[in-house]
Amino acid sequence: MFDDIQDVDPAKQDGKWRATAELGVLLRSGNTDSRSWKGKLDLQRDTEFWRNRAVVDYYLQERKDIEGETIRDADRLFISGQGNRKFELGSHSSVFIYGSYEDDALNSYDYQSTIAAGYGARVEFNESMFTDFEIGPGYAYDKRRDTGETEGSFIVRAAANFDWELSETARFTQLVSTEVGNDNTRSRAVSALTANLNSRLALRLTLTLTHNSTVYEQADGRIPEKLDTETAVTLVYTF
């Protein structure tokens, strides 16, 4: 629910801050000269009554054309933070407040930001599988890249996060969120498969889909795609 792919049952936490850092790099030379890298920092703290998390996620992909010019195919920064307050000790129901900021150099907006609050609930299927649901009103504030104008609108944010511990060393997670507004509906889906290499290090395969229902023609005549797809293989270190 934090636009993150690694959720942890708060009932098993001890109130300490924890962090995971991800890094994936791909460099190619010869017939193709390109580079891409992904970095992510995830801070989380779960207590008896509170679940807090902050995420910073950055993805860059560049290549050189036959004339030696650098072409940037992806340049995206995503930041989010959320706090959930449970109604009572041991409760699976909570109220939440959520905020996010995204700067994607290739979509229709200089930036997109959101703040929302509402109700959250957790459904546990068994000891290794659960789903979180959240819904609530909010406000989106965006800046268009073509005109430089800023736009604000009320939205409804809904999200679901599925977590399945496949084994002692493997976990699958699926996040789906959507922010429905009058001018634009922004949706995000993150699928991830994580395999532990040891107690600190893991390997993660991630597929991230970001969709904007409204796009605008840019000054150079380019019309951004409504759907962005990002596939990454990263090493994850927990500390």
pLDDT of residue 10: 43
The CATH superfamily of 10-238 is monomeric porin ompg (2.40.160.40)
| pTM for the model | 0.86
pLDDT of residue 140: 96
Residue for token digits 């909010």? 138
Q: pLDDT > 70: what percent of the chain?
A: 92
Using DSSP, state whether 220 is helix, strand or coil: coil
Using DSSP, state whether 12 is helix, strand or coil: helix
pLDDT of residue 31: 65
Least confident among 25-34, 66-75, 152-161: 25-34
pLDDT digits (tens, 9 = 90+) for 176-207: 999 999 989 999 999 999 999 998 999 999 99
Q: Could you give the CA distance from residue 155 to residue 135 in angstroms, rounded to a whole number? A: 11
The domains of the chain are located at 10-238
pLDDT of residue 13: 52
pLDDT of residue 8: 46
**Residue pair 117/159 in contact by the 8 Å Cβ criterion:** no
Q: Beta strands of the chain (E only): which ranges?
A: 17-28, 34-46, 50-64, 70-86, 93-104, 109-126, 129-144, 150-165, 170-181, 185-196, 201-212, 227-238
Please calculate the CA angle 61-67-73 and round it to the nearest 5 degrees: 15
pLDDT (average), residues 51-70: 86
